[in-house]
Structure 1
Amino acid sequence: MSTPYSPSAAFEDLDGPRGPVLVEPETKRLDGAVREASVPPLARPVRHGSLADLPFDNADAAPASVVLSRRQPDGRWTDVTAERFAAEVQAVAKGLIAEGLVPGDRIAVMARTTYEWTLLDFAAWAAGLVTVPVYPTSSVYQTRWILQDSGAVAVVTETVAQAAALGPERPHLPDLRHVWVIEKGHVERLGELGAATVPDQEVAVRRGMLGPDTLATLIYTSGTTGRPKGCVLSHGNFFAEVDNAVELLYPVFRAETGEEPSVLLFLPMSHVFGRMVAVACVRARVRLGHAPSLKAEDLLPDLAAFRPTCLLTIPYMLEKVYNSARAKAEAGGRVAAFDRAAAVARRYGAALEARQAGTGSGPTRSLKTARTFYDPLVYRKIRAAMGGRVKYAICGGSPLGRRLAAFYAGAGIQVFEGYGLTETTGATTVTPPLKPRLGTVGWPLPGTRVRIAADGEILVSGDHVLRGYWDPQAGGVVPATRDGWLPTGDLGELDDEGYLTITGRKKEIMITAGGKSIAPAPLENWLRQHPLISQVMLVGDGRPYVSALITLDMDGVSHWRRMNGKHPVPAELLVDDPELRAVLQRALDEANKLVSRPESIRRFTVLPTDFTEMAGHLTPSMKLRREAVLRDFAAEVEGLYAQ
């Protein structure tokens, strides 16, 4: 059994039901600027046991509690109790043992976001194994590299096609002994095999061998700047992350007003963000569901049927929801009303923020009246598209921006924005409930210290920081921190109250021919919110000025053309369209108001194709692979500086 989930002593002096405790950061200054912020842990550290114990602890404490819901092929959802989930974990763990896997063996999982992913995670841990996620969109070369480097002895794929693609690579994978396929029922067969051949005591023995310092998973980074590295995360890393996150984000993980909390995962389980939230839900016994497809025609019915209270998302998706809602209103001749409603929501969200920060009295009576008026016309429809019960969203991956954060707050969806890396087991800063600061990524997660180095790089320290990087050539794990501080490669600033703002990526800094250092991310993120823009990448390193490569959001562009009495046409026919370029130029002019003249975008080109993961221009988590873009669009870049 693991250490039971328990808050820190900060809660012991409270009378009556336990309520939220908000511990403000302690800050340290250097030359007048805040250089370090830290928040003490809210949860007691776990001293024994592992993640493998969680399903069994839940079954002992609340056997009839619904901890997951499983999506059926016909779209219905079947509830899974704590007792049933523990039994399934036990059976599959015994099946893995029966197949000869021994403690410490690595087992890779290559699948979309499915129930089987979480089942395999906990079953592998119960068998003493180490899970290695592989994105289902990975190329054969990428998959082979991860399987080779990790020394995986088994891989579970979702589809027969994924397994077949590995066939020619088997001679290069001497450690790989097993390939199991989810859609062929192999996970169920593992459970049947284990039930028939392995005693329960064997799983208990293996669980007893694990502790907080035991390796839980190898997660390979998405590799925006080179070959992916395997991040070594322990069971203790996950406990430090999820226990403090559950304690801080109490609205997400605790029942309020009698409504049981629930989370629908649709982001990749191969990413640490999704894995962390899945573990947190199991830890807190919050009903968890998995949606395998991000396509609107698949995801919207899943949202409607599951009806989550919280979503795990990225800024790109919240931008798409907003832009799609506005486009629908425009098509129905109600765009003016939508824009008024959006303005009211933003003012309402900003007023809420001011009241919580103690700098304002909150929404005025007239603002409350306006919000009530627009709720059934606009806001309720947006919430309905997300299932109808959504109150919260956990958002990460890149900064959301103050404008959208205020809109969603005013529309009745509180966004907890966070910042983190694979190396920090997920979030390392997060928006504190009751005291958000829109446009920032919040305070340090309890138990975390954040420091700003002399060059602006963000450094992180805490029990959630990885043990090191996997390096089989060096004999295992290579330390990743310097004196306990992890250099993140990101640039940021801490304000007077310890809120962190991300300003860019260290390796992405451009230095123009005039010597001006420019972080491209802020302008790129701002422009990406435009309904006609899909992706933006700034260029200008060693050049006389900054330019932009722009790809089109074809749904938005097609809608814009229809609203102007024109038929939709392919992107390649629009790169020189004067009306489109005029709209984009106005967007750039607005963005340029945010920066100085040397940082402003002077020229841009519209590309005939979008940046995609398949083309190698984006990582699976939607980050730009800048070197690949520069290589593939070198002629377009040169054209921006030809005159």
Structure 2
Amino acid sequence: MREYSTALSVTVPATGNLTDDVVTNGRDHADAVVFSRPVEGTWHDVTAAQFLAEVRDVAKGLVAAGIEAGDRVALLSRTRYEWTLLDYAIWFAGAVTVPIYETSSAEQVAWILADSGARGVVVETPDHGSRVTQVRDRLPDLHHVWSLEGRAVQVLTTLGRDVDDATLEARRAGTGPGDLATLIYTSGTTGRPKGCRLTHGNFMFELTVAVDELDELFGRARGATAAGGEDAEGEAPSTLLFLPLAHVFARIIQVGCVKARVRLGHSADIRHLVEDLGEFQPTFVLAVPRVFEKVFNTASQRAVADGRGAIFGRAADVAIAWSRSRDAGRVPLRLRAQHRVFDALVYGRLRDALGGRCRYAVSGGAPLGERLGHFYRGIGITVLEGYGLTETTAALTANLPDAQKVGTVGRPLQGTSVRVADDGELLFRGGQVFAGYWQADEATAEVIDDRGWFHTGDLGEIDDEGFVRITGRKKEIIVTAGGKNVAPTVLEDLLRAHPLVDQCLVVGDGQPFIAALVTLDPESLSAWATQHSKPDDLATLLHDDDLRAEVQQGVDQANLAVSKAESIRAFTLLDTAWTEEGGQLTPSLKLKRSVVMREHRDDVDAIYHR
């Protein structure tokens, strides 16, 4: 049984809670710009003192409304400034935040509100409110529904005017590291979501370590002027959040930015993301691997459509080769020259798409893939891939600016230990591991053993330097009729890298060979059809030999990573899309295998009975 631990070299607070950062910032760095928020098309700065005042005002309203210490208050909204404001206001009131994805159905909303026993919920839009209204008769604990578009912030501020500062401070200071900060319901690829009990101490451990280790991203705020000015290199750190704050990945970045006084912005509409990035100009961003795949594939397809496909392809190869050579310790002179040329012709444009100042990106949620990791580093954006779960308050491991191995998810963070069990499952122990599932002791006992090791359900390896590599999901292992164990995610991640592929599902459990169901990316498919003078009609293209040959190239490339017995021998192109709205993807864009298999059972059967 292999094990690796990283020593804790920073001091994690043993008292206090997450609101202490807001109080300290507002008191000691009052003029520091900690947020920028869009108001009528223009970004307006919010100082630490202003944020503290707004949080206090809203928290007083919650207290006046009867929200008690330990009560659960839900947030059902897109990613926006008010989400963060309310999150901290709930904590100031001594209460517990329950995030709900804004795409959740009425039934999903009902389950989370009922299971958590939420006393109040803040929704964003009338549509969100109607989902709560539909199920209100099943929610006896729910006393309040506020709406952001119904001026919830102003309503709560007015309501709390008679609550004095001392009363609020007593409520705020009464929360300690062991108290519950949030219940985050796992989106779940199967079954009903379970509420993960994350304490203030879990967050404090995670962020104390992460902010220290990711000093290149967060630390420069400590060198900025009191007014949030520029550091010695002319760049004050900043990031623009566009992932759902209901997800622990975005949430931990939010809390980290508040802690380190990194200027934070929110982008609620993916349709305006490129424009928002251009205006906000973040120094780092965070995204799930599918976002990085889409950026690469879209750039590739646009280059092909503009007649620059060969140039882009060569530029991508050079970026990857340059990054690999750096790992080897020497970049050949000719490669350096080619890299400089393509930096001027191609790479600069790609960096501009992220605002022009971005030098780092943080990736989590699923494996990124070695090729994409090298590509992005080669164009000047280092993607720091990490690994964690909702149950572990986000990151357990991370690649760091000065300790990176592309293709891995990095070493364990300080104070964290990892172990590979006899069956290949990754086990972790550390201060960020959750307190257990809400009202589900049996489920908790299934994942945390009597020695405190958290069983992730993921399979992986640890190399001699402590870098962790994810190889698959324990419950998703496919066993073929010949007895071969196959980890489908390896093939799926590689096949999704092909520009024409949107999603794919590898199948073959109990079958004589491995196969795949493939859905196509509409934008890339349309561009390909135009380029090849084909009808832009999905139903017709599904049977086009040239299209199948293109996808086969992606299959062949993916198969290079596995043995012949594990390789994809057949695939079917589908005339559908797998989406979060359709129920096939989780909000973090993970595939719900059981749903897809149920919906496409006939397609799978057809592969093996041709």
Question: With structure 2 as the length reference, what TM-score do the two structures score?
Answer: 0.96
SS in 2 for 1:46: coil
Pick aligned residue for 1:122 from 74, 79, 88: 88
Partner secondary structure for residue 107 of structure 1: strand
SS class of match (1:184): coil
CA offsets 1:166-198 (integer angstroms, 9 cap, x no match): 21311100000000111111122211221x211
1:600 pairs, out of 567, 572, 583, with 567
Aligned equivalent of 2:279: 305
C-alpha separation in 1, matches of 2:573 and 2:16 = 55
- 1:283 correspondence with 2:259: yes
Residues 621/561 of structure 1: CA separation in 2 closer, same or farther (3 Å cut): same
Pairing partner for 1:513 from 471, 481, 491 = 481
Q: Secondary structure in 2 aligned to 1:470? A: coil
Tell me if 1:341 matches 2:341.
no
Residue 491 of structure 2 corresponds to which residue in structure 1? 523
Q: Residue 481 of structure 1 aligns to which amino acid in structure 2?
A: I
- The equivalent position to 2:196 in structure 1, one of 209, 225, 231, is 231
1:54 deviation in Å?
Answer: 1.6
412, 416, 426: which one aligns with 1:448: 416
- 1:319 lines up with 2:293 in the alignment: yes
Shift of 1:600: 1.1
Partner of 1:197: 162
Matched, 1:260 2:226: no
- Contact in 2 for aligned 1:304/1:387 (Cα 8 Å): yes
Contact 2:535 2:541 in 1 (8 A): no
Aligned partners of 1:75 and 1:504: how far apart in 2? 44
**CA shift digits 1:19-60 (9 cap, x unpaired):** xxxxxxxxxxx5xxxx11111124211111000222111111
| Equivalent position SS for 2:576 | coil
**1:641 maps onto 2:608 in alignment:** yes
Q: Deviations over 1:467-498 (max 9, x none)?
A: 111017x6998795211100000000111111
Higher mean displacement: 444-453 or 339-348: 339-348
Is the counterpart of residue 463 in structure 1 residue 428 in structure 2?
A: no
Summarize the alignment of residues 606-625 of structure 1 with structure 2, pairs less than 5 Å apart: 606-625=573-592
Tell me which residue corresponds to 1:382: 350
Q: Displacement, 1:623?
A: 0.6
3-state secondary structure, aligned to 1:254: helix
Structure-2 change in CA distance of 1:478 and 1:79 (3 Å)? farther
Among 392, 413, 431, the alignment partner of 2:399 is 431
1:267 alignment partner AA: L
Partner of 2:546: 579
Does the CA contact (< 8 Å) of 2:447 and 2:456 recur in 1? no
* % identity of equivalent residues: 50
Aligned amino acid, residue 523 of structure 1: L
2:514 pairs with 1:540: no
Sort the Cα spacing of 1:478 and 1:201 in 2 relative to 1 into closer, same or farther, 3 A.
Answer: farther
Matched, 1:79 2:37: no
2:87 counterpart letter in structure 1: D
Residue 86 (structure 1) shift = 0.3
Supply the AA of the counterpart residue of 1:220: Y
Confirm or deny that 1:242 pairs with 2:210: no
Q: Give CA-to-partner distance per residue, 1:205-256, whole Å, 9 cap, x none.
A: 0112111111000000011122111000000100111111111111111226
Q: Which moved more, 1:185-194 or 1:133-142?
A: 185-194
- The superposition leaves residues 249-292 of structure 1 with CA deviations (integer Å, 9 ceiling, x where unpaired) of 11111226231000110001000000000000000000011111
Please tell me the residue identity of whatever aligns with 1:270: A
- Does the 8 Å contact 1:540/1:547 carry over to 2? yes
Aligned-pair CA distance for 1:435: 2.5
TM-score, with length taken from structure 1: 0.91
Distance 1:546 1:475, change over 3 A: closer
C-alpha displacement of 1:351: 2.3
Identify if the C-alpha distance between structure 1 residues 84 and 477 changes in structure 2 by more than 3 Å, giving closer, same or farther: farther
Which of 237, 249, 269 is the aligned partner of 1:293?
269
Comparing 400-409 with 518-527, which one deviates more in the overlay? Answer: 400-409
Deviations 1:512-540 (A, max 9, x none): 11111111000000000000000010111
Q: Aligned-pair distance for 1:353?
A: 2.7
Determine if contact 1:47/1:212 at 8 Å carries over to the other structure: yes
Q: 1:98-154, CA deviations, whole angstroms, 9 ceiling, x for partnerless residues?
A: 111100000000111110111011000000000000000011111100000000010
> Residue in 2 aligned with 1:15?
none
Give the secondary-structure state (helix, strand or coil) at the position aligned to 1:164.
helix
Contact 1:471/1:477, CA 8 A, preserved across alignment: no
Q: Structure 1 stretches (4+) deviating beyond 4 angstroms? A: 474-480
Per-residue CA deviations over 1:302-343 (Å, capped at 9, x if unaligned) read 101111000011111111111111222222212221112111
Larger mean CA deviation between 457-466 and 312-321 belongs to: 312-321
2:23 partner amino acid? F
User: Alignment partner of 1:259: what SS?
Assistant: coil
Partner of 1:8: none
Confirm whether residue 550 of structure 1 aligns to residue 518 of structure 2: yes
1:144 maps onto 2:110 in alignment: yes
Tell me the residue number matched to 1:218: 183
1: CA distance between counterparts of 2:603 and 2:391? 36
SS where residue 438 of structure 2 aligns? strand
Q: Pick the aligned partner of 1:332 from 297, 301, 306.
A: 306
Counterparts of 1:350 and 1:507 in 2: how far apart (Å)?
A: 33
The aligned runs of 1:25-40 (5 Å cut-off) are 30=1, 35-40=2-7
2:122 to 156, 174, 182: 156
SS at match of 2:437: strand
Q: Is the 8 A contact 2:459 2:470 kept in 1?
A: yes
Distance of 1:287 and 1:411 partners within structure 2: 25
Q: CA deviation at 1:573?
A: 3.0
Residue 457 of structure 1 and its aligned partner are, at CA, apart by 0.4
Q: Aligned equivalents of 1:363 and 1:597: distance in 2?
A: 33
> Closer, same or farther in 2 for the Cα pair 1:407/1:261, shift >3 Å?
same
Aligned equivalents of 2:332, 2:375: Cα separation in 1 = 17
Q: How many residues align?
A: 598
In the alignment, what sits opposite 1:16?
Answer: none
Are 1:272 and 2:272 an aligned pair? Answer: no
Q: Is the 8 A contact 1:467 1:479 kept in 2?
A: no
